[in-house]
Structure 1
Amino acid sequence: MNENIKILAIESSCDETSAAIVINGRKVLSNVISSQIDIHTKFGGVVPEIASRKHIEVIALVVQQALEEAQVELKDVDAIGVTYGPGLVGALLVGMQYAKSLAYAIKKPLIGVNHIEGHISANFIQYSDLKPPFMCLVVSGGHTFIVYMKDYGEFEMLGQTRDDAAGEAYDKVARAIGLGYPGGPKIDKISKDGDENAIKFPRANFHENDSLDFSFSGVKSAVLNYLNKKQMKGEKVNTADVAASFQKAVVGFLVDNAIKACKLKKVNKIAVAGGVAANTYLRKTLIKEGALNNINVLVPETVLCTDNAAMIGSAAYFEYKKGNLSDLRLNAVPNLKLGQR
């Protein structure tokens, strides 16, 4: 087998159209991302139909740019990796159909990639010597998991959210306090000017003391109730204090469960993945608590936390090595579970 496997990867699960060329799952030659944030901001969130149309408009250009930046010709690609779930079904179909057509035209293997596995695999790009087993905290707008990665492509789910994902809670609270979309970066920024101890927002308590699950609907509702009470009394709201106190409650929950998971499995490495992994307060808090517990915290650079094709190329490489190829009947699975094929 060729020692330098070049994967052309395509990602279109939500509102970023991305293509990348990745060698051996760890070296990125190009990682082109066309973002739609400015388009969806005025709607207060991602509009699926608009996202799909925009993917159609730019996907060919994004793929071509990725090839040109990598100085790789299409004929020299060893395989094509593409996200097939989870995500918005229309958005997934655009990237997937393009990848399938391309694979058929150039007679190269097709590899369907789980988007969440892609996020986890971003750490293999950031840390070239990283190998399983390790723990991973996956935190994004649609997902919040604690996953034990036993081997490449082999996962054990230890905890997950029972309602809202952490990123979803960030977006909803940001909207409620007038910050708008996207909520995560805006709350992260304004929180630096607030007092995180100004308001004590609650954390979900489960009957099972050993549970590693999450729940963020309660803290979201507590913020809304706080705002409503202030409005009814005609009192001024300190937005920075609300944001900082909310963020402390959410991040504290994430970090505590992540550390508990590491102790449970007796591992001293935890990687962070997903869009919320770009949050500076989460990074700082997890690194601090990790140091106190002799746990090494691995955090990818920001561009590898948000949706991108390089992470899909990394995950696709490890599937390729295992011989887990897809055929042209591959279809979008919007609710695809981690580890499911």
Structure 2
Amino acid sequence: MSLICFKTLYRKSTPVIRRTLLEFNPKYYSNSKSCIILGIETSCDDTGCAIVDSEGNILGEALHSQHLVHLNNGGIIPPIAQDLHRANIERVVNEAVQSSGIPFKEIDAIAATVKPGLPLSLMIGTKYSKYLCRKHDKPFMPIHHMEAHALTARMCDKSVEFPFLVLLISGGHCLVAVAERVDKFLLLGESLDDAPGEAFDKVARRMKLKNLPEYSKLSGGQAVELAARKADNPLAYKFTIPLQQYKNCNFSFSGIKNQLLLHLQREEILHDVPADRVIPGVYNLCAGFQIVVTRHICHRVQRAMEYAARKNLVPPDKQTLVVSGGAACNNFIKGGLKMVCDEYGYKIVRPPPKFCTDNGVMIAWNGVERFKENIGIYHDWEHIDVENSAPLGEDLTNDVETERISCKWVKLKGINLPQNQLQSSTV
């Protein structure tokens, strides 16, 4: 049987048939360019595990979400998150392995998120991964959570080649960087305070969207996006875009959040809103908040594109913007970024939403990318520990500001903005 026929048959087979095929041809994954990696993710509140091969085939996966528990608690409480990881990780890993039909002897390495994230959560995944490595005599691959988010697009879209521009927006992070290689990133800008997902969660909670049945089980970002679609006057509340006077690619969302809170407090007093009710203009407030967040993100990404062109960091024939992270699931934000990309000749790539949020697949795929390059494979791994914070690559944020790049902002057609926010000026 040819290797191509074997791979095709293997991908389409059930777990039982896969085991038989591996017994028939045990050397299928023996060469240096092929591998099977098991990945474990526990950086925050999702317990994920997946088995992925070198072609990007997801052989097995499982995920346990703590979303509803933390939603009811009003936010993530680290000790509770740790307890839930501890209670579910063995089951999640077993489900992923069983669904793959891959015996541990055929797995080449075990990858796990070790940074950045909640230390109590990271500890569970890292310790369990090391236990599996010890039990099955496998090498360990420590994974940087944000690098994994950045490279998942290469599994979903094989046309994404290095170098490319990447925007990562989530509940804990917001940054724009150039991905030069599997293990080399150039950081162009990052959040100075809140991450966008964090801001969405906080304002959704303060607006009491959870008290409306249709949003009661949604994350803050999902709730605000859906509520904004019901707005009859998205310009009802005035917002100003932050950091316009700073010629860099950094982000700031705390000021936008505080603007919303001031609007909300005035409305609650004006309409004498009971403690468990939402204000009459809640949909318009959600829309205004989402518009200014999108505009701000687009500003910083546009300047990053200008900087990348000035420094020849992304070849003109390979201009790709990868957008990932939980907040990247917001289609309104993606729509704004698409307009900027169209103006600058960039292709925009966003992994499917299930791979934008935290999951085991992205960790396993990062392990695959590293395994194929022979990077970060440890047989002596006892010294590797978790880190709650970890920079992404080489920091070029100061150099970006030094360039003093002015931009004629791309007008986001179809996005309603007040006259003083219609971006035709140079800032």
Q: TM-score range by the shorter chain?
A: over 0.9
Number of corresponding residues: 339
Query: Counterpart of 2:385?
Result: 331
For 1:205, give the aligned amino acid. Answer: L
Q: Which piece of structure 1 moves more, 173-182 or 158-167?
A: 173-182
1-structure distance, mates of 2:332, 2:121: 31
- Alignment RMSD (CA, Å): 1.6
> Any conservation in 1 of the 2:116–2:387 contact (CA below 8 Å)?
yes
Residue in structure 2 matched with residue 216 of structure 1 by the alignment: 253
Q: How far apart in 1 are the matches of 2:120 and 2:271?
A: 45
AA in 2 matched with 1:228: Q
Whether the aligned pair in 2 keeps the contact of 1:277 and 1:283 (CA below 8 Å) is yes
- The structural deviation recorded for 1:334 is 0.9
Letter aligned with residue 294 of structure 1: G
**2:299 aligned residue:** 256
- Post-superposition Cα deviations, 1:183-219, rounded to whole Å, max 9, x if no partner, equal 111111111111332222111125432x111111111
| Distance in 2 between residues matched to 1:259 and 1:141, nearest whole Å | 22
CA distance in structure 1 between the partners assigned to 2:229 and 2:271 by the alignment:
26
1:25–1:54 CA distance, 2 compared to 1 (3 A)? farther
Could you tell me which residue of structure 1 aligns to residue 281 of structure 2?
Answer: 238
Mapped pair 1:204 → 2:258: no
Cα distance between partner residues in 1 of 2:369 and 2:163: 15
Q: Residue type of the partner of 1:153?
A: D
Query: 1:287 maps to which residue?
Result: 338
Asked if the contact 2:147–2:366 (Cα under 8 Å) also holds between the matched residues in 1, the reply is: yes
Tell me which residue corresponds to 1:95: 125
What's the CA shift string for 1:5-55, capped at 9, x where partnerless?
100000011111000011127322222111111111111111111111111
Q: What CA deviation, in whole Å up to 9, does each residue of 1:94-122 have, x standing for no partner?
A: 01000001111111110000111111111
Residue by residue over 1:295-334, the C-alpha shift from the partner in whole angstroms, topping out at 9 and shown as x without a partner, is 1110110000000011111112222223322312211111
Matches within 5 A, 1:1-341: 1-24=31-54, 26-180=56-210, 182-194=219-231, 195-205=233-243, 207-209=245-247, 211-234=248-271, 236-266=279-309, 267=314, 268-320=319-371, 321-326=373-378, 327-339=381-393
- Displacement of 1:242 after TM fit? 0.3
Report the counterpart of residue 7 of structure 2 in structure 1.
none
Report Cα offsets for 1:170-193 as digits up to 9, x if no partner: 111111111146211111111111
**Would the aligned equivalents of 1:109 and 1:325 in 2 still touch at CA under 8 Å?**
yes
Q: TM-score, normalised by structure 1?
A: 0.95
Q: Is the CA contact 1:25–1:313 (under 8 Å) kept in the aligned structure 2?
A: no
Aligned residue type for 2:362: M
Aligned counterparts of 1:89 and 1:282: Cα–Cα separation in 2: 30
Task: Give 1:323's aligned amino acid.
Answer: I
Aligned-pair CA distance for 1:125: 1.6
Displacement of 1:68 after TM fit? Answer: 1.5
Q: Which amino acid aligns with 1:204?
A: P
Aligned partner letter, 1:337: P
Q: 1:251: how far off?
A: 1.0
Stretch of structure 1 that moved more, 257-266 or 243-252 = 257-266
Bigger CA radius of gyration: 2
What is the rounded CA distance, in whole Å, between the counterparts of 1:129 and 1:205 in structure 2?
34
Question: What is the identity percentage for the equivalent residue pairs of Structure 1 and Structure 2?
Answer: 29
Contact 2:111 2:364 in 1 (8 A): yes
